[in-house]
Structure 1
Amino acid sequence: MQRSPELEALVASWFEAATRGDAAVVDTLISTNPGTCLIGSDPGEWLSGGEAVAKFLRGELTNAGGQARFSPEGTEAYEEGTVGWATTRLTITLPDGGHVSPR
């Protein structure tokens, strides 16, 4: 297992795109493989299948529409062979100045 600066940069680029409301990043970074799943912070955010995950994320980024600022902190990413993973602490700053920190 080794630290992955490449994956850390990918996490940063994802949240930069989210801040801009750039849903095109979904088509670049999310697999449409049927085994892809997303488990969000809301109990209703449990999606299976790459197409469903991509559709959900496109909607989230489009709805954010550049209105919110996504600020990751303390991102750590690692890789082992063909597998990689990352963690980050995220703060979302809303248009009214409020903050949300999902997990």
Structure 2
Amino acid sequence: MADELTQYLEGCQSHDMATRSASEQKLKEATNPQQLPGFLYALTEKLRDENQKITVRQQAGLYLKNILYAKDDAVLEQNRARWRDHVGNDIKVQIRANILTVLR
């Protein structure tokens, strides 16, 4: 999944509309409840990996933010419910640790 994730994150920035659409669709599919915990963790791994291209790291951070936060209150509540209901505490700890590593 790690190499595919890099490919999809890069594809989201492609000038080719077909590549971009396919990549965005694959990332959207990864937000289903069964895949969400691993997907969030994989995004934080990409974000903290200094060997990744900066554009991949930026895209991972942006996608992570968009999954967890929203300006619209209804969407924000849905995002919070997904985090609360579908992501186990052990994964939450790992995700938070990765994010804190990036912020240092």
TM-score normalised over the length of structure 1: 0.30
**Quick check: which one's strand share is greater?**
1
Structure number with greater CO (CA < 8 Å, separation at least 6) is 1
**Quick check: which one's helix share is greater?**
2
TM-score normalised over the length of structure 2: 0.30
